[in-house]
Amino acid sequence: MKTVILAGGLGSRLQEETSTRPKPMVEIGGRPILWHIMKHYAAHGCREFVLALGYKGHIIKDYFLRYREHASNLSINLANGDTTLATSRGEDWLIHLVDTGETTQTAGRLDRLRPYLADKTFLMTYGDGVSDVDIQATLEFHQRHRRFATVTAVRPPARFGAISFDGDRVDQFFEKQLPVNATDSFINGGFFVCEPEVLRYLGPDPDATPFETTPLDQLAREQQLMAYRHLGFWQCMDTLRDRQHLEELWAQGHAPWATWEGSHPFTHVENRNAELLV
């Protein structure tokens, strides 16, 4: 099953990093966040990717063109220029890198990937967020409910912590990380499962349409959008503060999204946490 990754945005809220490279190439632990996302999908058996490129997409192309060289030991004969990969640690991935326009909105990027999707169920996410969501469980949830699309719903991480009150008395004080039951609000966490019928909802002018507006709203109104509630780790990388937080988790060896290392159990949200979005 193919995994679409929307990797073409400008990343304007992270200009400290994105003035010279696309947001998916901003590094966490010395690797682009795009690599972390792909490793997570690959850990769940998803090894064919379609990357929707835009802003500075050539940098993403260059990265994968030279991936095996950078990941391997080399032997170079300076007399004739012959190069031999002494050890090869390339990933078992098939990657389609598709230019979808520098200013194209997300619906338009998806629309331009039609030739690669072959009328089959596909996975989709953004190139700037990591999670320990169980991809296989999300897919099974989607298949059980037989709708056109499933979105992973997540609770937004607390940036500044929170205080709960009993009258005017502080009842509990949470520094940065809220407990699971601290809020009932959910947001779009990405990690979609989509049927090819979703492409019919992109509208007459998809290049100017965010997928997150009219297409998802229409799917919801027609009762074709399911929500897989993920109560585990999720973090987007919108700001420099977000990047620093992810970098700290990686450096401390507590990166929940690093499921491919086998040190963190997958989070499986039971069917009772499902909700039909209408």
pLDDT tens string 83-120: 887 776 678 999 999 999 999 999 999 999 999 998 99
Asked if 81 contacts 184 with a C-beta cutoff of 8 angstroms, the reply is no
**167: alpha, beta or left? (left if phi > 0; alpha if psi -120 to 50):** left
- pLDDT value of position 263: 39
Asked if the model's pLDDT at residue 201 lies above 60, the reply is: yes
- Mean pLDDT, rounded, for 58-79: 90
Asked if 257 contacts 40 with a C-beta cutoff of 8 angstroms, the reply is yes
Rounded CA-CA distance 255/76 in Å is 36
Asked if 12 contacts 229 with a C-beta cutoff of 8 angstroms, the reply is no
- Mean pLDDT, rounded, for 159-177: 54
- Which carries the bigger pLDDT value, residue 34 or residue 17? 34
The residue among 110, 140, 100, 129 whose CA lies nearest residue 219 is 110
- Mean pLDDT, rounded, for 18-39: 94
Phi, psi of 248 (to 5 degrees): -65, -45
158 — pLDDT class (breaks 50, 70, 90): low
Q: Which domains, and CATH codes, for the chain?
A: 2-157+184-277 (3.90.550.10)
- pLDDT value of position 56: 95
- pLDDT value of position 186: 83
176 — pLDDT class (breaks 50, 70, 90): low
Average pLDDT for the chain: 86
Burial class from Cβ neighbours inside 10 Å (0-12, 13-18, 19+) for residue 193 reads buried
- Which carries the bigger pLDDT value, residue 18 or residue 233? 233
Asked if 99 contacts 51 with a C-beta cutoff of 8 angstroms, the reply is no
Asked if 114 contacts 199 with a C-beta cutoff of 8 angstroms, the reply is yes
3-state SS class at 36: helix
- Mean pLDDT, rounded, for 61-90: 85
User: By mean pLDDT, which of 6-10, 13-17, 185-189 is the weakest?
Assistant: 13-17
Q: Would you state the structure tokens that stand for residue 248, as one six-digit string?
A: 């700290």
